[in-house]
Amino acid sequence: MNRRAQSIALHTTLAIGAIITLFPIFWMLSASFMTAGEATVVPPHLVPHAPTLAQYRELFVRLNIARAFVSSTVIAVIVTIGCVLFSSMAGYAFAKLRFPGRQRLFGLLLIALVIPPQVGMLPLFLLMKQLHLVNTYWGAIIPSLATVFGIFLIRQFMLSIPQELLEAARLDGASELRIYWSIVLPLARPILATLATFMFMSTWNDFMWPLIILSNQSHYTLPVAIASLSGEHVLDVELMMASSVLTVLPVLLLFVVLQRYYIAGLMAGSVKG
Amino acid sequence: MMRIRRFAILLALIATACSGQRDRRERLEFWGLGREGEVVAEMIPEFERRNPSIHVVVQQIPWSAAHEKLLTAHVGESTPDAAQMGNTWIPEFVAVKALDDLTPFVAASRSVDRRDYFDGIWATNVVNGTTYGVPWYVDTRVLFYRSDVLAAVGFPNGPRTWDEWLEAMRRIKAEHRSRWAILMPTNEFEPIEVLAMTNGSPLLNADGTRGAFRQPPFAGAFEFYVELFRRGYAPAVSNSEISNLYQQFAQGDFAMHITGPWNVGEFRRRLPASMNGKWATAPLPARDASAPTGVSMAGGASLVIFAASKHKDAARKFVEFLSEPKQQIRFFELTGDLPARRSAWSAPALAADPHFPAFRKQLERVQPLPKVPEWEQIASAIFDRGEAAARGTSSTTAALTALDAKADILLEKRRWMLSRKR
Amino acid sequence: MNAETRAALLFLAPAMLLIGIFFFAPVIAGFALSLTDFDLYTIGDIHNLRFIALRNYRELLGSSIFWTAFGNTLYFALVGGPLTVIVSLGAALLVNTRLTRYKAFFRTVYFAPVVTTLVAVSIVFKYLYHPRFGVVNRALGHIGLGPVDWLGDPRFAMLSIIILAVWKGFGYTMIIFIAGLQNIPEELYEAAKIDGAGPWGRFRHVTVPMLGPTFLFVGIVVAIGQLQIFAEPYVMTMGGPLNRTVTAVMLMYQQGFKWWRMGYAAAVAFILFLVIGAATLVQMRFQEKR
């Protein structure tokens, strides 16, 4: 086979793969603009014949999906800010400050990476009940405010910040807080962006914990809300597709814009393991 | 920092925009399940017109998630004021002390008239002598059958007793009137339950602490059930192996099926036109001629008020409203759910329909399932063991022993608690 | 205590307190909980709590639904895991060849499913799988196959969920493989070429051994992720048909939050933890041997 034929075969395969990969997303978008019942006609319509926003209108006007949108956003934003702040503080301490028991404490933290979160979920729920945080935003937020993954990610990055820089600042009489805030954080900006992207998306997409802790519709996040909707509107394909679009699109767009940071996070996690 | 603040303001704006304007009316939160939760919204304008000071907010929950959502809400202290609840769940919610005692309310209420309700249905709402719910609509099982096939074997009105039933099935099979005589999906426990209750089984012992599965009433019914599979009267298939119930019923795969009221509408809609007048419903066959009919289960949903509610008066008004015979009929028209009150059954839509009188008759002979929180788990063991026996992988004796053992394990906590109280 | 230690304490305090209180304490409490009969009655009145040692575990090991759930979960991981690895390795190899143009584009496209919301795409797939009007059956119809009741047929339900999981997950492992491939020095391939190795030989003797550590990482990550499968069956099948898609976490959720047998559910979670730990160890051991 010559180079040209090879290239054609290769790119055809890649293109078919891309079409298969994108098809479910394409169909979701397409069906969300169809009139009720159009997605189930024979022969099938792949694109809406008379595109309409009726499904979205129904979601916002009658089913009040904006509420879930706000819940998802509030929870994801607060988790992101909190997690970046607390993880960067702890990551800095593990990377750059000497204190007794540092290695042991860090080793202990790493154990958490192989413990499935479900093991703690039942007691966590009972704890939240004691704290009166069941069915509140804080109940959904607090457990993700600091993650071992975030601390690990930031520590690895900060190890590469030259110690001399910090020593020089200390000699100039800068406080530890000042060093962290004005020297370390600006240097760590790329990894902070990575962690922020990562936390926002995983919080936005999270399902099981919000499902458990949020019992009332007024607090549902989008995934919980649409899972509940799909139990009721099984036959309203177009409506369900519109609600899926509303859930998926924000993170998908965010990913397209910030993919550099997001993938960097995955890689940082994978290189070390 | 500036940008974050601006973002926070934006969020706050959206939040206020969504919550709408403050409303001075008393806010009553009601949770409705599935389709009923959707339909009840249509009845609220009338209620709010009559009670201008109350605003009812309905939250609709899918049936599949309702049980855990209601319990989580109770544990998380965020229960609604009132809710619809499967009447078999009431014992559980009583065990966690979630429900308000409705006994005095019912005694004083002029609208909720205890005597107008079917006894078996009402009984599902009473735990240890205290009333915790008001029946909203009912659900029970009767016999759906092909009247042409049953007429051909000599039972145009359906079999009245177990002997007649067996005889009908024998002839259907011997004369090849249909492929199988009856369909009883092996993953349903309801057929076993109703057979056992018809045969006089209490299912559990008197205080609900041990299984009564090896005792003669249950064992006899279980044997009867398994025998139908052994003789080839019923196919050992589960629901998911039946691709199209209606089509198979129409093409003569089976001539009888034990099922519930929703199927009246479904049969009408989905059977081909040629089946018009060729199917009918009958109460379950009695054990013998001494009883008018068999005994079926008292299913359905009730209206409950939560103990933590701060709007109990408004909630009671709402329960009374939904219980009015007129609203019961309206609700039937909207959903097809059968009314819980006898007086609502005089509605033309119900009385004139040829398929509902069987339900009306059956409802006089329904019994609640054992009122212990563990029942639903025990019931899933019933179909599990029933399926094994029906498929011949387990003997009936072994199945019954296993059932009693399983029930004893599940009820161990109950026994311990009762023994401590003494 | 010197100034640096004090500063470190200050910096660590928020994260350590949060992780300690909301992660480690619940995990330890989870084990304690699994040794009790915490249930519905306990929620009504805490005095109804008893210490029952290992009885939950004994009861679990004797129940058929437990074995079904863990069997389903292992099936999902043992079929879905390797399938994900194969598909993603293939994608990585194709995207990474020297001939490939628009690498970034293909990488982004293949990666896109990873960032989608699992619940939402589960709903989408539920419709794609619909026996009557689903696109999958329509496509199969064109080549004379089907129709298949993907989610309703006990034989296909879990397989359908596996396909969704592979679609959703292969982009992630692909990225890791691409990084691994880029770390392989070009000279090794040149040397193999000189030794007369064809494309397959070069893959077998250079690529695979050099990707060793990546395989380990990918294997562990995929296994841990897949053993925790929950949202897909929750949205698509609720565990049916015939319990064929009840998974370990689903069982925990049902027992814990539906029936409120929290002690029992905690035992399910702990056994899952042991299984995940064992899977990790096996994989590390396996990798050491090679």
**pLDDT per residue as tens digits for the range B389-399:** 988 888 999 99
* Alpha carbon of B403: minimum distance to chain A alpha carbons (Å): 29
Within-domain flag for C27: no
Question: Which residues of chain C make contact with A38, given a CB cutoff of 8 A?
Answer: none
Across the interface, of B72, B95, B373, the residue whose CB is closest to C257 is B72
Within-domain flag for C218: yes
Residue B204 DSSP one-character state? B
The label of the residue with tokens 């309310």 reads: B105
Percent of chain B with pLDDT strictly greater than 70 = 94
* Contact call for B75 and C43, based on CB within 8 A: yes
- Chain B stretch 294-353, residues whose beta carbon is closer than 8 A to a beta carbon of chain C: none
Q: From A217, which residue of chain B is nearest by alpha-carbon distance? A: B59
Across the interface, of C22, C27, C119, the residue whose CB is closest to A119 is C27
Q: How confident is the model at residue B2 (pLDDT cuts 50, 70, 90)?
A: very low
Q: How confident is the model at residue C163 (pLDDT cuts 50, 70, 90)?
A: very high
Question: Which residues of chain B make contact with C241, given a CB cutoff of 8 A?
Answer: 238, 240
Identify the CATH class of B24-139+298-352: alpha beta
Contact of C259 with chain A, judged by CB distance below 8 Å, is answered with no
Within-domain flag for C113: yes
Question: Which residues of chain C make contact with B391, given a CB cutoff of 8 A?
Answer: none
Cβ–Cβ < 8 Å for C33, C266: yes
Within-domain flag for C277: no
Please report the ipTM that was assigned to this predicted complex. Answer: 0.91
**According to the model, what pLDDT value does residue B136 have?**
96
- Using omega within 30 degrees of 0 as the cis cutoff, is the peptide bond preceding B292 cis? no
* Contact call for B96 and C40, based on CB within 8 A: yes
* Contact call for B76 and A66, based on CB within 8 A: no
- Chain A stretch 176-215, residues whose beta carbon is closer than 8 A to a beta carbon of chain C: 176-177, 180, 201, 204-205, 207-208, 211-212
* Contact call for C44 and B95, based on CB within 8 A: yes
Contact of A43 with chain B, judged by CB distance below 8 Å, is answered with no
Contact of C258 with chain B, judged by CB distance below 8 Å, is answered with yes
* Contact call for A263 and C91, based on CB within 8 A: no
Cβ–Cβ < 8 Å for B359, B258: no
**According to the model, what pLDDT value does residue A272 have?**
37
* Domain coordinates in residue numbering, chain B: 24-139+298-352, 142-296+371-421
User: CB pairs under 8 A, 24+ apart, for C5-8?
Assistant: C5/A97, C5/A98, C5/A99, C5/A100, C7/A93, C7/A97, C7/A176, C7/A177, C8/A93, C8/A97, C8/A98, C8/A99, C8/A102
Residue B200 DSSP one-character state? T
Q: What is the pLDDT of residues A76-110, one digit of tens each?
A: 999 999 999 999 999 999 999 999 999 999 999 98
Identify the CATH class of B142-296+371-421: alpha beta
Question: Which residues of chain B make contact with A77, given a CB cutoff of 8 A?
Answer: 7, 11
Residue B421: in which H helix or E strand, if any?
helix B412-421
Q: What is the pLDDT of residues B130-167, one digit of tens each?
A: 999 999 999 999 999 999 999 999 999 999 999 999 99
Within-domain flag for C140: yes
Dist CA B248 CA B270 (whole Å): 11
Within-domain flag for A197: yes
Question: Which residues of chain B make contact with A81, given a CB cutoff of 8 A?
Answer: 4
Contact of B60 with chain A, judged by CB distance below 8 Å, is answered with yes
Q: What is the pLDDT of residues A137-195, one digit of tens each?
A: 999 999 999 999 999 999 999 998 999 998 999 899 888 889 999 999 999 998 999 99
* Alpha carbon of A266: minimum distance to chain C alpha carbons (Å): 8
The total of structural domains in chain A comes to: 1
Q: What domain range includes position C197?
A: 71-260
What contacts B146, CB < 8 A, 6 or more positions away?
A: B178, B249, B252, B255, B256, B278, B279
Highest mean pLDDT: which range of A233-237, C15-19, C45-49, C172-176: C15-19
Task: Return the SS3 of A252.
Answer: helix
Within-domain flag for A158: yes
Q: What is the pLDDT of residues B265-317, one digit of tens each?
A: 889 988 999 998 999 999 999 999 999 999 999 999 999 999 999 999 999 99
Within-domain flag for A44: no
Dist CA C6 CA B420 (whole Å): 54
Cα B170 to Cα A49, A260, B157, B231, B389: the distances in Å are 56, 73, 17, 9, 21
Within-domain flag for A100: yes
Highest mean pLDDT: which range of B133-137, B408-412, C196-200, C253-257: B133-137
- Chain C stretch 48-87, residues whose beta carbon is closer than 8 A to a beta carbon of chain A: none
Question: Which residues of chain B make contact with C37, given a CB cutoff of 8 A?
Answer: 413
Across the interface, of B71, B240, B373, the residue whose CB is closest to C240 is B240
Cβ–Cβ < 8 Å for A102, C14: no
* Alpha carbon of B70: minimum distance to chain A alpha carbons (Å): 8
**According to the model, what pLDDT value does residue B1 have?**
40
The total of structural domains in chain C comes to: 1
Partnered with residue B305 across adjacent β-strands are: B82
Q: What domain range includes position A143?
A: 54-272
* Contact call for C43 and B92, based on CB within 8 A: no
**According to the model, what pLDDT value does residue B6 have?**
53
Any idea what the CATH number is for the domain that residue C152 is in?
A: 1.10.3720.10
* Contact call for B96 and C44, based on CB within 8 A: yes
Contact of A143 with chain C, judged by CB distance below 8 Å, is answered with yes
Contact of A122 with chain C, judged by CB distance below 8 Å, is answered with yes
**According to the model, what pLDDT value does residue A273 have?**
32
* Contact call for B59 and A64, based on CB within 8 A: no
Any idea what the CATH number is for the domain that residue A92 is in?
A: 1.10.3720.10
Within-domain flag for A219: yes
Q: From A96, which residue of chain C is nearest by alpha-carbon distance? A: C8
Q: Residue B63 pLDDT more than 90?
A: no
pTM, 2 dp: 0.87
Within-domain flag for C278: no
